[in-house]
Each structure stands twice: as C-alpha cells, then as structure tokens.
Amino acid sequence: MTQQPFSRPGAIDLSGLGKPAPQAGPPAGAPSAPAAGGGSSYSVVVDDQSFQGLLEQSMTAPVLLVFYSRTRMPESGQLADDLETVVAEHDGRYLLGLVDIDAVPQIAQAMQIPSIPLVVAVVDGRPTPLLQDALPIDELRTALTQVAQQLTAGGVTGRHQPRSSVAPATDGEEEVVDPRYAPAQDALAAGDIDGAVAEYQKLVASNPADVEAAGGLAIAKVMQRTQGVDLSTARAAAAESPDDVDAQTMVADLDMLGGHVEDAFTRLVNLVARTTDKDREKARDHLLALFAAVGNDDPRVLAGRRNLASALF
C-alpha cells in the first residue's frame, strides 16, 4: 500500500518533544473530518497536554501510537478505528494513543514520522516502529497477539487500567495491574520464581486459552530452570558434550532469556537431528515448550517448526 509522506525520513527521536512547531491545518481545500474519538477504555486522543503522560504510562505497560490523517489518507483513519477495537479486546495489554497529524503536527514532526500510516510501540519509554501499512482488522488482531506473546516471553506483563473506570494515577502512585496476574507478578518482583510458576499454573489450569498466562508460565519455567546457572560454565559444558540433552537445553534456555530466540531454536533443532529415542523426544519436547513461550504464530516459531519437521524425517 502506498504510504503518505509526512516528514523527513529517519529514526524516531524524542529529543524534539517540548519544542512545538507552528500548528498547520489540513491541506487547502480538504474537507474537515472527525478525529478518532478515543471512545475505548484503552485509547486516548493525543494532544500537547496528554502526550508526555502517555509516554510515561509505557513504564507500566506497552503504549501504541497510531499516526494518521483522514484527509490525507482515509485508510490511515480506518486503521486508527480498527486499532481502537483490537486494543480494547486485549483488556489493558495496550494503551492506544491516537495522533491525528492534522490536529497535532508538532508531535509527528518532533518524532520525525516519515509517512502515514505508522504505528509505534513504546515500552519503558522506548519507541519502536511496529506497522507501516493499514492492515485489515483480522491481520491487526494476529499482529497484536504476536506482539503480546513476545512481550510476555520477555517478562513484560503489566496492564493498563480502563480509563473510563479508574482515576488517573497521581505522582508517586502506581497504576494497579490486572488482578488476575498480580500474584504471579508480585512473586517475580520478590524473586520467588517458584511461586510465580505456581501462580501461572493456576491461571492456565483455570483457562487453558489464556495466551498471556501460558506465555508467562513458559518464561517463568525458563527462569526457574536457569536460576543460579553461570552462562560461561553452561556454554563450556555444552561445547564439550554436544549430544548431552541437559547441557544443550540449558544453553537454549539461557539464549531465550538473553533474547537470542533463533539461536535457541537452532541449537535444539540440530540436537533433535543428532539424537535418537528418548534423547530425541526430550529435546523435541523442550523445543516445543520454547515455541509456546514465544507464541505459535511468531514467524520464528513457524520457521522453527519447519526446521524441526525436517530434522525428524
């Protein structure tokens, strides 16, 4: 899909925020159009006053920013509407900021937005481009589910509270996390990994379809298995015993925690190819558990499954 240029290309840079450019209206002769209304409990129309606070809320849970213009590119306005719907379905996993570049061009200019539509994910105050096309709503659902799975696997499990039912947090106040996940998150915060595993297991047992609980359980188990393990020692042991399933799966777990997902998958696929019988079954089962931690729709998992199938036959 052709994108509508807006500003100079380049990496997103927040340093320009707080230096507003002069406001500019829509192109001459363009009809006026309503902005997305922020009608969801998990979306807000972005303006100069709300923008900084929105970024600060990314320290609690992920924030999505959608940059759009109904006058310049109607498809981008539809994307903003569809994102409101999909974000609401995630029940606080994301907070959506709706940035109409005709209403607040200074924000798009400060962030050096190269074109619209653009969706940016902000986690812990750090922005990362996420989408640059006006995807159909079903593809949006798949994309945001995959992102949620990856965030959970990386230990990002916070949630936003509904804006319509909870007063905004004041300075020094923390937003309350979703009570379903609070016991597991509290356990992790206290360093009680065994307790976190037990809490996530309860959630999965009560609702096997809870993707975030399943992802949280998978990554908590990885943390449980790697507690107190020295990375250098583990790698040395794996290098000395390339067919030792325990040694290889330990390094795969450590790679997962370090964000080296594809390295972990490749190590175990190769192990499956080299081993037989119970060792092969053990290596395969461990790999399948890591697939679940990342998310079965993730492209890396899909590629890993293809490679696993080749290794098995």
Rounded to 5 degrees, what are φ and ψ at 139? -70, -35
Tell me the one-letter amino acid at 280. Answer: R
Q: Kindly state the tokens that stand for 312.
A: 């098995």
Say what the pLDDT of residue 39 is.
Answer: 55
In whole angstroms, what is the distance from residue 309 CA to residue 8 CA?
45
Query: 64 versus 172: which is more confidently predicted?
Result: 64
Per DSSP, helices labelled H in the chain are: 48-57, 74-89, 105-110, 137-153, 182-189, 193-206, 211-225, 231-240, 245-257, 261-274, 277-294, 299-312
Say what the pLDDT of residue 18 is.
Answer: 35
Half-sphere exposure of 160 (CA within 13 A, CB side): 31
Confidence grade of residue 170 (pLDDT, cut at 50, 70, 90): very low
Say what the pLDDT of residue 33 is.
Answer: 35
Q: Kindly state the tokens that stand for 163.
A: 């804006």
Indicate the range of 45-49, 137-141, 209-213, 289-293 predicted with least confidence.
209-213
pLDDT, tens only, 226-247: 888 888 899 999 999 999 999 9
In whole angstroms, what is the distance from residue 226 CA to residue 214 CA?
19
Q: Kindly state the tokens that stand for 130.
A: 């996420």
Say what the pLDDT of residue 51 is.
Answer: 84
Rounded to 5 degrees, what are φ and ψ at 67? -100, 125
CB atoms within 10 A of CB 158: 21
Q: Kindly state the tokens that stand for 278.
A: 């119970």
Sequence-separated (6 or more) residues with CB below 8 Å from residue 83: 43, 64, 66, 96, 119, 140
Say what the pLDDT of residue 178 is.
Answer: 62
Residue in the block written with tokens 């558990």 = 289
Query: 205 versus 55: which is more confidently predicted?
Result: 205
Share of the chain above pLDDT 90, in %: 33
Asked if the bond preceding 26 is cis, omega within 30° of 0, the reply is no
Say what the pLDDT of residue 45 is.
Answer: 92
pLDDT, tens only, 111-149: 888 889 999 999 888 888 989 989 999 989 888 888 887
The answer to whether the CB of 291 falls within 8 A of the CB of 305 is: yes
In whole angstroms, what is the distance from residue 194 CA to residue 229 CA?
16
From residue 58, give the alpha-carbon distance in Å to each of 105, 118, 152, 253, 256. 22, 18, 15, 28, 24
pLDDT, tens only, 77-93: 999 999 999 998 888 88
Most confident region among 8-12, 109-113, 274-278 by mean pLDDT: 274-278
CB atoms within 10 A of CB 90: 20
Query: 291 versus 167: which is more confidently predicted?
Result: 291
SS3 275: coil
**Which CATH architecture group holds 43-154?**
3-Layer(aba) Sandwich (3.40)
Residue in the block written with tokens 């461990």 = 286
Residue 24 has pLDDT above 60, yes or no: no
The answer to whether the CB of 116 falls within 8 A of the CB of 69 is: yes
Say what the pLDDT of residue 163 is.
Answer: 66
Average of per-residue pLDDT across 106-115: 85
Query: 6 versus 67: which is more confidently predicted?
Result: 67
The candidate with the shortest Cα–Cα distance to 135, out of 195, 85, 213, 82, is: 82
Residue in the block written with tokens 């395969």 = 284
Confidence grade of residue 20 (pLDDT, cut at 50, 70, 90): very low
In whole angstroms, what is the distance from residue 268 CA to residue 273 CA?
9
Confidence grade of residue 95 (pLDDT, cut at 50, 70, 90): very high
Each domain of the chain, given as residue ranges in start order, spans 43-154, 181-312
Average of per-residue pLDDT across 292-311: 84
Say what the pLDDT of residue 176 is.
Answer: 47
Q: Kindly state the tokens that stand for 259.
A: 């964000």
